[in-house]
Amino acid sequence: MIRKIHLQILLAAFITSFGAEIAAQDKPDTLKAKLDEITVVGFSGNRSIMETPGSISYLDNQRINGLSGQSLVYGLNTVAGVKMDERAPGSYRIAIRGSAIRSPFGVRNVKVYWNDFPLTLPSGSTPLNLLNNQNIKQVEVIKGPAGSIYGAGTGGVLLINSFPKNPQTERIVDASVGDYGLFKYGAEYNTKNEYMITQYKYASQVSDGYRDQSFFERRTFETGVKVFTPSNVLVSVSTLYSNLNYGIPGGLTLEQFQDDPTQTRSGSVEKNASIDQEDFIIGVNVESEWTEQWSGGTNLFANLSKFENPFNRDYKSESRKSWGSRPWVQYKNRFGDSDLKLKLGAENHFGFNYAKNYQNDGGVRDTLNFEDEIEIKNRSLYLTGEIDLPGEIFINAGISVNKVSYHINRVATKEGGVDPNLVSKNFETAILPRIAVAKRLNNLTAVHASVSAGFSPPTLEEFRTNDGDINLNLEPEKGINYEVGIRGNTKKGFFSYDITAFYFRLTESIVQQPSDDTTRASTFVFRNAGSTNQSGLEVSTNWIAISNQNKFLSLLEIQSSYTFHYFKYDDYVREGVDFSGNKLPGVAPHTIFTSLLAETKAGLYGQISYNFTDEIPLTDGNTVYSDSYHLMKGRIGFKQVLGEKFNLDIYAGGDNLLDQQYSLGYDINAFGNRFYQPAPGINWFGGIKVNYSINN
């Protein structure tokens, strides 16, 4: 009944928004909601989102930092089809169209790029928690398989840019505080002239956390430079140093969750379950136009990392190195009434991990369990093409060839012996085609359709468990995605919408489950689970009800999204139990998001958001479900221009304003029924930001 009511509310809001916009036609024109004004990289197109065939969402800086600005969680959860969890401060997990089914922790099966080079490691995992929100100014979300150009991953792609869309010379300082010992501050020094853009950013964020053993501490320092040479060459260099340390409180049973949600899993405090990670990342990009038809470039990148992970069962210590390149060459020309663009490129990504696993004695390394040298190779070669045909028809097609391999040399074991055999796994070469078309029906409306293939090899954490087992039988996921959509604006751009329906057929699906060995039942293992059927509908709308700088209420904007996901096992039998036909665990069938932003001429502003998440199956057998929940967040503030150069923003806000008892993320198929990662009740934050801009 509740579900039907919320769907009716959404439909009513959609119709009301559309009707109200018709009445708003005499208001001053605005570009804020017009989709034609949004340019996306997408599948290497660098064009208007209206002419891009595919399901792509764009997040600007305001949307990313819409409320507290403490993490990327709020911004990504405004996107239909995307669910981001922060199971404890710093412990991220992202599901794009349900892809978190194989992620007990960490970001997997989603490819992430930062300033055009991969933040995702060659092993398939992404240390997204290395980034502070200061390091994120723009985000593009590509939903569904994008392997024709971005390689491995069936969930989707995040394209993150730390350079603002409209850079300028400015100095920024900000600070915020909140409940549970939150203290965050940062500074930016950015310059811009005719030939160069530079940026320097420092940020620090610490908190004690709502639960025991949920402390968080992160410090980042970023540098970036873009140089435009007289010979038409663009050189970009980005570096990031990140020092991260956070606690892992662990999952609770329902009884523990209801009795005392601040407690930890037994042993987490005594063993100092936590992650201490230090990374230095550098990327260099060079691109140039050789002639009117030919251009090219290359991207070189490297990541040096030190990783310490005391946990309840063991203690991991790793030294990680990864490096690679992304060369490309592009040809474009006009033939009659058609424009053609072809791009040939490659991504070569290599890694070497020196990994040791110890017994954990009160948070201190004890006896060595095993020691491995791990070599990773992840390579992709792609060809993509675009052709613009008469009648405003835009076709994008591409194909890639992908190869992933792991080589593990066990140097030592706890018995003192050495395994003389190098264990290697060369996954089958994957060829991934994609074809997509977009058609403008008129100046305000465009439709698109696509068929794309994807594959996702096991990450290193899935292939090699904490107990040292190596699963040579684990195979990559493979799938085909079918998608249709429509997007557009109304006449003056006050209302925009984006609607997509998809069907994704996945084979060799990778699922997580407790180990069959009762002595190691708390260790997750991964298995291929036959096939799954995943279908859904994703709706996003944006309505600017008021936009007039001369009125007291100068802006009133409403953003909404609705997600319907119907995911089920098609063919999955485990240990004689048939789960075929069951719903995929970890996926909410219905989610709703809406936010309202109001600004006044005097500088006062307010924002409030609402999120509904439907009940979620937590086991393969669908025997346990979470409760649905309703979240409200809000922020009020005051913005003022001081003189000609200074911009001041003072704000305060609250999270979980309805005081809901819910889990920040659910542990699927959890051993001992420890499904829950409790969220705090009502909590508060406030802050100040000062921007000194030289060329506003």
Average pLDDT over residues 345-371: 94
Domain contains 178? no
Domain contains 369? yes
Q: What is the pLDDT of residue 39?
A: 80
Residue pLDDT, tens place only, 404-426: 999 999 888 877 666 556 788 99
The listed range with the strongest mean pLDDT (490-494, 525-529, 632-636) is 632-636
Q: What is the pLDDT of residue 76?
A: 93
Average pLDDT over residues 576-583: 91
Domain contains 289? no
Q: What is the pLDDT of residue 480?
A: 95
Q: What is the pLDDT of residue 9?
A: 36
> Residue 668 above 60 pLDDT?
yes
Domain contains 411? yes
Higher pLDDT, 11 or 575: 575
Q: What is the pLDDT of residue 100?
A: 67
Cβ atoms < 10 Å from Cβ of 136? 21
Average pLDDT over residues 287-315: 95
Least confident of 18-22, 161-165, 232-236, 562-566: 18-22
Higher pLDDT, 551 or 14: 551
Question: If 0-12 CB within 10 Å is exposed, 13-18 middle and 19+ buried, where does residue 416 land?
Answer: exposed
Residue pLDDT, tens place only, 128-148: 999 999 999 999 999 999 988
Q: What is the pLDDT of residue 31?
A: 43
Q: Read off the pLDDT band of 514 (50, 70, 90).
A: low
Helix-then-strand count for the chain, H and E: 6, 41
**Which residues does 90 contact at the CB level (< 8 Å), separation at least 6?**
129, 216, 218, 244, 246, 275
Q: What is the pLDDT of residue 88?
A: 86
Q: Read off the pLDDT band of 153 (50, 70, 90).
A: confident
> Residue 430 above 60 pLDDT?
yes
Domain contains 143? yes
Identify the helix (H) or strand (E) that includes residue 426.
strand 422-426
Domain contains 379? yes
Average pLDDT over residues 162-170: 91
> Residue 175 above 60 pLDDT?
yes
Residue pLDDT, tens place only, 515-531: 655 555 456 678 888 88
Average pLDDT over residues 501-518: 80
Taking CA atoms, 683 is separated from 206, 209, 212, 291, 633, in Å, by 16, 11, 17, 57, 10
Single pTM value for the model: 0.92
How far apart are the C-alpha atoms of 411 and 286, rounded to whole Å? Answer: 40
Least confident of 39-48, 307-316, 426-435, 645-654: 39-48
Domain contains 198? no
> Residue 82 above 70 pLDDT?
yes
Higher pLDDT, 37 or 195: 195
Domain contains 504? yes
**Which residues does 53 contact at the CB level (< 8 Å), separation at least 6?**
394, 395, 396, 436, 437, 438, 448, 449, 450
Supply the mean pLDDT for the chain. Answer: 89
Q: What is the pLDDT of residue 219?
A: 98
Q: Read off the pLDDT band of 62 (50, 70, 90).
A: confident
Residue pLDDT, tens place only, 99-125: 667 776 778 889 999 999 999 999 999
Least confident of 42-51, 587-596, 634-643: 42-51
Q: Give the total number of structural domains in the chain.
A: 1
Question: What are the residues facing 612 on neighbouring strands?
Answer: 592, 630
What CATH number is attached to the domain comprising 547? 2.40.170.20
Q: What is the pLDDT of residue 108?
A: 85
Q: What is the pLDDT of residue 469?
A: 85
Domain that holds residue 439: 2-163+303-693
> Residue 686 above 60 pLDDT?
yes
